[in-house]
Amino acid sequence: MNRYNYFVYRLLTSNFCLLTSDTPHPPITSNLSPLMYQSLESKTMGDVDVVYHNGLYHLFHLVLPNHDFIAHAVSPDGLNWKRIQNAIFIGHPGSWDDHMLWTMHVTRDPWDKDSWRMFYTGLSSSEEGNVQRVGIARSRDLVHWKKLPSHWIPEVQGCGDEDAAEAPAMIQGGVDQDSPIPISAQSPHYESTLEEGRRWVSFRDPYFVQEGDTGHLVVAARVPHGPVIRRGCVAHYVEVAKDTFEPRPPLHHPGVYDDVEVPNIFKLGKFFYLVGSIREDAKVRYWYSESPTGPWKNFYDNVLLPGGNYAARISFDNDGPMVWNFFANDETRKKANLMPPPKRIRQAKDVQLRIEPFEGFNTRVEEVASAKEVCSIHRMTKDKNASADIDDDGKGMSLQSTSGFEAFFIDGELESFRLTADLTLDGDGKCGFLFRFDQESSSGYHLSLDLLKGVAQLRRWGVNPGGLTEHAFRFFTIQASYWRTFENKSCSVILTVMQNYIEFCIDGKVLLSCADRLYDSGSLGIYVESACLRVDNIKLERIIPPSAPTDNLAAT
């Protein structure tokens, strides 16, 4: 979409009134809505940031494509959310942030323990949005925000001297020539002009952390040298006085990515971790160091969240660090984005990070299926080479297919559930899970497991209604991930399916975290192909999904 069409689109789809963060807005009183934000075609979820305070999770997020305000919602459990009044809006015409607002970060104000600061990205219409800068807003309650004054003097065209003299008073927060706001990319460490690199200035996605007496601001930016598509870095600014930041050399320049978006830095034990989102493969990666300023190292596998998960933000509650993000199947990440439930971050003995399931799922368990129910299975194809042997106590079973594919289904249909089990594969064949599966048409979700090489792949696989010849079926890989197996072909698994969210864990570590809307209910089964699969300690829990699945915070 070119800029002319974009501005026409905004005029047609937005309420183009001059609301500011200082203008009172009535709270929105929608009911609690579900853990996954479902987006209408015209609006969708953007980058997120979450703060935990006084028993509530506060979610701040962008709404795409307009980017004209930062929305705010609250939740007591991290799963159900209630929209409240928006935090801040784009500035009046002529302001440094009158074009768009991009990613934000909310943190305690080190200069006032009763206040909060929001660092946010702003773009100016006078530069056609090609230069990114960082601003600050303050709040004492996380609800009412006031932007700090800026040193920006707007260009006033087509008006008399008297009107031009009044123009600075229209700028949100006011104009103060001594103000350090907005914070800008500065040479020689970073691209800072439109004549460099890709002819736009990357300086966005701020994240602030206080370490001892020093405040560190990290920002997605670009070094001014090297191949243009390898210049992405994490810019480093140090707070030298209240709200005043001075540039330092890059905190980290991997030398391989176009951008390191939405950077985060946090400490666990003796180590610091740097997290960033990578556009090339739409994954979230991390690095580690013994110092907040590096040098930063990475492991053989430094993927924190698999493909489709993006713009991850780290926050802390009473139980430690969590990761939040949005998920998109669309490669542009501008349509139908969804916010999954959070995941817990743990530090392993070897200092690597482990992503574990959110314990909040435990509060959603409605019913635990009996062993008799779980082991009341039937075969799909009735292949003569397949068999199922159920233990007398109903706590385990052996599923076998010596030649070809066979699926073993639990009786009944399921929508939202959590399945846990211990798996041991005998043989060099295949195994996996089928869920929300229609047995008659053989259509549903297909989770393939390679227990030897350590590969998990989730697919939509089934009939394509109306499709002919080579278009008669759907086959689409939603997500894939990997784990280290040590060739024992045994593991513990957790499969959680809640509304459109799907999560799969191996040995307590989240491998797959994604969302899909195609299939909403159906059978649950385990399949084997040319192997014998031993299933022990199987447990099936029915989960209560969050209420109001059609509610949409992004469209409110």
CATH of the domain at 513: 2.60.120.560
Tokens of residue 78, six digits: 């991290």
Residue 32 DSSP symbol:
P
| Predicted pLDDT of residue 174 | 75
- Considering 152, 182, 212, which residue would you say is the last residue of a domain? 182
Is residue 492, in this structure, part of any structural domain at all?
Answer: yes
* 483 occurs within a structural domain: yes
Q: Tokens 């609690």, residue?
A: 32
Q: End of a domain among 182, 208, 242?
A: 182
Q: How many CB atoms lie within 10 A of CB 195?
A: 7
List the end-to-end C-alpha distance of the chain, in Å, as a whole number. Answer: 24
Q: Does any domain span residue 118?
A: yes
| pLDDT value for 155 | 61
In which residue ranges of the chain is pLDDT below 50? Answer: 1-40, 157-160, 332, 548-551
- Residue matched to tokens 């209630």: 82
Euclidean distance between CA atoms 476 and 458, whole angstroms: 9
At 330 the pLDDT is: 62
Digit-coded pLDDT (tens) for 43-102:
888 999 999 999 999 999 999 888 999 999 999 999 999 999 999 999 999 999 999 999
Cβ atoms of residues 288 and 265 within 8 Å = no
| pLDDT recorded at residue 84 | 95
Q: What angle do CA 112, 186, 67 make, to 5 degrees?
A: 65
Q: Which residues pair with 387 in a beta bridge?
A: 400
- pLDDT for the residue 334: 56
Amino acid at the residue 536: D
pLDDT given at position 27: 39
101 occurs within a structural domain: yes
**CA–CA distance, 87 with 138 (Å, rounded to integer):** 10
DSSP structural state of residue 375 = T
Side by side, which strands form the sheet with 214-222? 204-211, 214-222, 232-241, 244-252
Is residue 431 assigned to a domain?
yes
Asked if residue 412 is part of any domain, the answer here is yes
Counting other chains too, the contacts that 291-299 makes at CB distance below 8 Å and 24 or more residues apart are 292/209, 292/211, 292/216, 292/265, 292/267, 293/216, 293/236, 293/248, 293/251, 294/251, 294/252, 296/251, 296/252, 299/352
Torsion of CA 318, 321, 326, 328, to 10 degrees: -130
Amino acid at 449: L
The residues, any chain, with a CB within 8 Å of residue 13's CB and separated by 6 or more, are: 42, 66
> How far apart (Å, rounded) are the C-alpha atoms in residues 233 and 204?
11
Domain of residue 407 covers 365-543
pTM of the model: 0.87
Which one of 131, 162, 182 terminates a domain? 182
DSSP secondary structure, 519-547, as one string: ---EEEEEEEEEEEEEEEEEEEEEEPPPS
Q: Which residue is associated with the tokens 């039937």?
A: 378
Contacts with 334 (C-beta within 8 Å, 6 or more apart), sequence order: 44, 64, 65, 328
Number of domains forming the structure of the chain? 2
Whether 473 is covered by a domain: the verdict is yes
Residue 1 lies in a domain: yes
> Are the C-beta atoms of 512 and 385 separated by less than 8 Å?
no
245 burial level (CB within 10 Å; 0-12, 13-18, 19+): buried
Q: List Cα–Cα distances, 54 to 123, 318, 387, in angstroms.
A: 33, 10, 55
The H helix count followed by the E strand count for the chain is: 3, 33
